[in-house]
Chains A and B, each alone.
Chain A
Amino acid sequence: MDPTRLTLSELATLLHDREMSASELAVLHLNRIESTDPDVKAYLRVTEDLALSQAEAADRALKAGEAGPLTGIPMAVKDVLCVKGVETTAGSQILAGFRPPYTGTAVQRLFDAGVVMLGVTNCDEFAMGSSTENSSYFPTRNPWNLDRVPGGSSGGSAAAVAAGEAVFALGTDTGGSIRQPAALCGVVGMKPTYGRVSRYGLIAFASSLDQIGPFTRSVEDCALVLDAMAGHDPLDSTSARKPNDVRKRLNDGIDGMKLGVPKEYFEVEGIEPGVKHAVEQALRMLESAGAKLVDVTLPHTDYGLAAYYIIAPAECSSNLARFDGVKYGISEQDEQNVTDLYMNTRRRGFGTEVRRRVMLGTYALSSGYYDAYYLKAQKVRTLIKRDFDAAFEQCDAIVSATSPTVAFALGAKTQDPLAMYLCDVLTLGGNLAGLPGVSVPCGMSGGLPVGLQVLAPQWREDVALRVARAYELASGMRIEPALV
Chain B
Amino acid sequence: MEVHVQPRTRSKMFCGCGIAPLNAAPNTFVCEVCAGMPGTLPVINKAAVEACVKTALALECEIPRHTKFDRKNYMYPDLPKGYQISQYDLPMSKNGVLDVGARRVRIRRVHLEEDTGKLVHAGAGLHKAWESYVDLNRAGVPLMEIVTEPDLRSADEARDYAMELQAVLRAIGASDADMERGQMRAEPNVSVRRAGTEELGVKTELKNINSFRALHRAIGFEVKRQIDMLESGGTVVQETRGWSEAGQRTFSQRTKEFAEDYRYFPEPDLPPLSLERRWIDDLRTALPELPRVRRARLVEQYALPASDAALIAGDRALGDLFDGAVAAGADAISTANWIVNEPSVRGLSSEHLAELVKLVSSGQINRDQGREVVAESLRSQQPPAAIVSQRGLAQVSDTSVLEPIAREVIAANPKAAADFRSGKMAAIGPLVKDLRDRAPEADSKVARELLQKLLG
| The one of A88, A200, A322 that contacts B82, using a Cβ cutoff of 8 Å | A322
| The one of A321, A362, A370 that contacts B83, using a Cβ cutoff of 8 Å | A321
Which residues on the B side are within 8 Å of A367 (C-beta)?
261, 263
CB-based contact B77/A338 at 8 Å: yes
CB-based contact B38/A200 at 8 Å: no
What residues of chain B have their CB less than 8 Å away from a CB belonging to chain A? Answer: 32, 35-44, 71, 73, 75-77, 80-83, 132, 134, 261, 263-265, 268-271
> Which of the listed residues A82, A88, A327, A374 has the most CB atoms from chain B within 10 Å of its own CB?
A327
CB-based contact B82/A321 at 8 Å: yes
Q: A101-B32, A104-B39, A327-B36 are in contact. Are A321 and B73 (CB under 8 A)?
A: yes
Output the least CB separation between B257 and chain A (Å). 16
Which A residues between 298 and 339 are near B, CB-CB below 8 angstroms? 314-315, 317-318, 320-324, 326-328, 338
| The one of A208, A318, A326 that contacts B134, using a Cβ cutoff of 8 Å | A326
Which A residues between 344 and 401 are near B, CB-CB below 8 angstroms? 362, 365-367, 370, 374
Task: Name which of A33-41, A111-119, A231-239 contacts chain B.
Answer: A231-239
Which residues on the A side are within 8 Å of B269 (C-beta)?
204, 207, 236-238
Which residues on the B side are within 8 Å of A323 (C-beta)?
38
Cβ of A203 within 8 Å of any chain B Cβ, yes or no, is yes
CB-based contact A235/B43 at 8 Å: yes
Cβ of A137 within 8 Å of any chain B Cβ, yes or no, is no
> Which of the listed residues B38, B83, B270 has the most CB atoms from chain A within 10 Å of its own CB?
B38
Which residues on the B side are within 8 Å of A338 (C-beta)?
76-77, 132
Which residues on the B side are within 8 Å of A80 (C-beta)?
39
A interface size (C-beta, 8 A): 45
| The one of B82, B132, B265 that contacts A365, using a Cβ cutoff of 8 Å | B265
Q: A101-B32, A318-B82 are in contact. Are A95 and B39 (CB under 8 A)?
A: no
Complex: how many Å from CA A422 to CA B221? 62
Cβ of A201 within 8 Å of any chain B Cβ, yes or no, is yes
Output the least CB separation between A463 and chain B (Å). 24
Which A residues between 131 and 174 are near B, CB-CB below 8 angstroms? none
Which residues on the A side are within 8 Å of B81 (C-beta)?
321-322
| The one of A200, A321, A370, A374 that contacts B39, using a Cβ cutoff of 8 Å | A200
Which residues on the B side are within 8 Å of A365 (C-beta)?
73, 263-265
CB-based contact B261/A90 at 8 Å: no
| The one of A81, A200, A366 that contacts B40, using a Cβ cutoff of 8 Å | A200
Complex: how many Å from CA A291 to CA B372? 93
What residue in chain B is nearest A337 (Cβ atoms)? B127
Which residues on the B side are within 8 Å of A314 (C-beta)?
265
Cβ of A98 within 8 Å of any chain B Cβ, yes or no, is yes
Complex: how many Å from CA A322 to CA B77? 9
Complex: how many Å from CA A117 to CA B265? 37
CB-based contact A100/B268 at 8 Å: no
- Jot down 15 A-B pairs with beta carbons below 8 A, ordered by A: A90-B38, A203-B38, A236-B269, A237-B44, A237-B270, A238-B268, A238-B269, A317-B263, A318-B82, A318-B265, A321-B75, A322-B36, A322-B82, A324-B75, A365-B265
Which residues on the B side are within 8 Å of A98 (C-beta)?
38
Complex: how many Å from CA A101 to CA B33? 11
Which residues on the A side are within 8 Å of B75 (C-beta)?
321, 324, 342
Output the least CB separation between A330 and chain B (Å). 14
Which residues on the A side are within 8 Å of B82 (C-beta)?
318, 320-322, 324
Given known contacts A203-B38, A237-B271, what 20 new A-B pairs fall within 8 Å (CB)?
A80-B39, A82-B39, A100-B38, A102-B32, A104-B39, A200-B40, A204-B38, A237-B43, A315-B268, A318-B71, A318-B82, A321-B82, A321-B83, A322-B81, A326-B134, A327-B35, A327-B134, A328-B37, A338-B76, A374-B265
| The one of A204, A320, A322 that contacts B80, using a Cβ cutoff of 8 Å | A322
Output the least CB separation between B434 and chain A (Å). 72
What residue in chain A is nearest B134 (Cβ atoms)? A326
CB-based contact A234/B263 at 8 Å: no
Which residues on the A side are within 8 Å of B39 (C-beta)?
80-82, 100, 104, 199-204
Complex: how many Å from CA A43 to CA B44? 37
What residue in chain B is nearest A89 (Cβ atoms)? B38
Output the least CB separation between A222 and chain B (Å). 24
Output the least CB separation between A354 and chain B (Å). 14
Which residues on the B side are within 8 Å of A327 (C-beta)?
35-37, 80, 134
> Which of the listed residues A90, A314, A362, A367 has the most CB atoms from chain B within 10 Å of its own CB?
A367
What residue in chain A is nearest B131 (Cβ atoms)? A333
What residue in chain A is nearest B73 (Cβ atoms)? A318
Complex: how many Å from CA A367 to CA B259? 11
4 cross-chain pairs, A with B, having the tightest CB-CB distances, nearest first:
A321-B82, A365-B263, A207-B268, A208-B268
Q: A237-B269, A318-B82, A362-B263 are in contact. Are A101 and B37 (CB under 8 A)?
A: yes
Complex: how many Å from CA A88 to CA B38? 10
> Which of the listed residues A237, A314, A365 has the most CB atoms from chain B within 10 Å of its own CB?
A237
Output the least CB separation between B93 and chain A (Å). 21
Complex: how many Å from CA A314 to CA B41? 18
Output the least CB separation between B103 and chain A (Å). 34
Which residues on the A side are within 8 Å of B77 (C-beta)?
324, 326, 338
> Which of the listed residues B32, B41, B42, B75 has the most CB atoms from chain A within 10 Å of its own CB?
B41
What residue in chain A is nearest B83 (Cβ atoms)? A318
Which residues on the A side are within 8 Å of B38 (C-beta)?
82, 88, 90, 95, 98, 100, 203-204, 322-323, 328
> Which of the listed residues B36, B39, B82 has the most CB atoms from chain A within 10 Å of its own CB?
B39
Q: A314-B265, A318-B73, A324-B75 are in contact. Are A235 and B37 (CB under 8 A)?
A: no
Which residues on the A side are within 8 Å of B265 (C-beta)?
314, 318, 365, 370, 374
Which residues on the A side are within 8 Å of B271 (C-beta)?
237-238
> Which of the listed residues B37, B40, B71, B264 has the most CB atoms from chain A within 10 Å of its own CB?
B40
Complex: how many Å from CA A202 to CA B268? 14
What residue in chain A is nearest B35 (Cβ atoms)? A327
Q: A318-B83, A322-B82, A365-B263 are in contact. Are A237 and B35 (CB under 8 A)?
A: no
Interface string of A274-314 (1 = CB under 8 A from B): 00000000000000000000000000000000000000001
Complex: how many Å from CA A200 to CA B264? 23
Output the least CB separation between B44 and chain A (Å). 7
Output the least CB separation between B12 and chain A (Å). 14
Interface string of A194-229 (1 = CB under 8 A from B): 000001111110111000000000000000000000
Output the least CB separation between B349 and chain A (Å). 41
CB-based contact A237/B36 at 8 Å: no
Output the least CB separation between B17 and chain A (Å). 14
Which residues on the B side are within 8 Å of A203 (C-beta)?
38-39
Output the least CB separation between A33 and chain B (Å). 25
Which residues on the B side are within 8 Å of A328 (C-beta)?
37-38
Complex: how many Å from CA A314 to CA B71? 12
CB-based contact B268/A235 at 8 Å: no
Complex: how many Å from CA A234 to CA B270? 12
Which residues on the A side are within 8 Å of B32 (C-beta)?
100-102
Complex: how many Å from CA A310 to CA B73? 17
Which residues on the A side are within 8 Å of B71 (C-beta)?
318
CB-based contact A200/B41 at 8 Å: yes
Output the least CB separation between A25 and chain B (Å). 29
Complex: how many Å from CA A31 to CA B268? 42
Output the least CB separation between A40 and chain B (Å). 26
Interface string of A67-93 (1 = CB under 8 A from B): 000000000000011100000101000
What residue in chain B is nearest A98 (Cβ atoms)? B38
> Which of the listed residues A82, A235, A318 has the most CB atoms from chain B within 10 Å of its own CB?
A318
Complex: how many Å from CA A356 to CA B134? 30
Complex: how many Å from CA A238 to CA B271? 6
Complex: how many Å from CA A328 to CA B73? 20
Complex: how many Å from CA A229 to CA B73? 32
Which residues on the A side are within 8 Å of B41 (C-beta)?
199-200, 235-238
Output the least CB separation between A342 and chain B (Å). 6
What residue in chain A is nearest B32 (Cβ atoms)? A102
Complex: how many Å from CA A104 to CA B37? 12
